[in-house]
Amino acid sequence: MICFPNAKINLGLNVVRKRADGYHDIETIFYPIPIKDALEISAADEFSFTQSGIAIDGDAGNNLVVKAVDLLRRRCELPSFNIHLLKAIPFGAGLGGGSSDAAFTLTLLNDYFDLKLTNPELESLAAELGADCPFFIRNSPVFAEGVGNIFQPVDVSLAGYFMCLVKPDIFVSTPAAYSMITPKAAAASVKDIVKRPVAEWRDNLLNDFESGIVALYPRIGEIKQMLYDAGAVYASMSGSGSSVYGIFTEKTNLLASFSDDYVWEGTL
């Protein structure tokens, strides 16, 4: 059995306050996009995890796929199996690829072994793996609050638009990104701004991380401007970076413009 964990982008991101526990409350829209990994499960004599595609540094035991397996095994008795991850979503990009892999692992195992866990039960399990993991269980646009773990549905659609997403060879530390932020109440909620035409988002739908990150890594700002110069109606960094996406009304062909970067182009 195979499934295809998809990425997400942030539509706007406001850091509104620092919490007593040291974390930050945010407001953002999580929007699923069709950049996908692949997960395949098959019968085996003993459990194994294998991975191909984009190389992932670190011990395999720290991979969120393995952590999702371990979490579900503590709840349910599972036969042995092999699970393989083909990694295509770039990491360190603000696209939630690892969180998506974890959430889809839970749903894949639920389906493969007919565990009959409900979506609310899967979301509860996913929340133990990461704040945004439950989003990928429902996998539809949400307004996210808290530390990115409190969701409510939001009526926004980019169907029919095209997107060009560019991930430069830049790693942005999330703690470092937050260290450059002075939290403040948003002038307008992102869930209200996204109700406006996309053409009005440029000067209104902002990512609080962007100015500080661009000051450190000017290439990110250059990519955003190149997307606007190519005709994007809206462009933004996703999350704390380093990927930058542009939304277009017409199909793009910008691979040559970003030959040294990871580029994805497609229909939303």
The domain segmentation of the chain, as residue ranges, is 2-153, 162-267
- Whether 25 has a pLDDT exceeding 80, the answer reads yes
Q: Please compute the mean of the pLDDT values over residues 248-263 and round it to a whole number.
A: 95
- Whether 60 has a pLDDT exceeding 80, the answer reads no
Specify the CATH architecture of the domain 2-153.
2-Layer Sandwich (3.30)
| Residue 175 binned pLDDT confidence (cut-offs 50, 70, 90) | confident
Specify the CATH architecture of the domain 162-267.
2-Layer Sandwich (3.30)
| Residue 43 binned pLDDT confidence (cut-offs 50, 70, 90) | very high
171: number of Cβ within 10 Å:
12
State the amino acid at position 199 in one-letter form: A
Query: One of 37, 132, 208, 261 is an active-site residue; which one?
Result: 132
Quick one: tokens of 178? Answer: 């937050």
| Residue 70 binned pLDDT confidence (cut-offs 50, 70, 90) | very high
For the beta sheet containing 162-167, the strands, ordered from the edge strand earlier in sequence to the opposite edge, are 234-237, 244-248, 162-167, 262-267
Does 132 participate in catalysis according to the annotation? yes
List, in order, residues 6 or more apart from 66 with CB less than 8 Å away. 49, 60
Give the pLDDT of residue 186: 86
List, in order, residues 6 or more apart from 161 with CB less than 8 Å away. 198, 233, 247, 248, 249, 267, 268
Sign of CA dihedral 29, 5, 130, 109: positive
Give the pLDDT of residue 187: 86
Quick one: tokens of 96? Answer: 């939630």
**Segment 71-96, tens digit of pLDDT:** 999 999 999 999 999 999 998 899 99
Does 203 participate in catalysis according to the annotation? no
State the amino acid at position 205 in one-letter form: L
Mean pLDDT of the chain, nearest integer: 95
- Whether 188 has a pLDDT exceeding 80, the answer reads yes
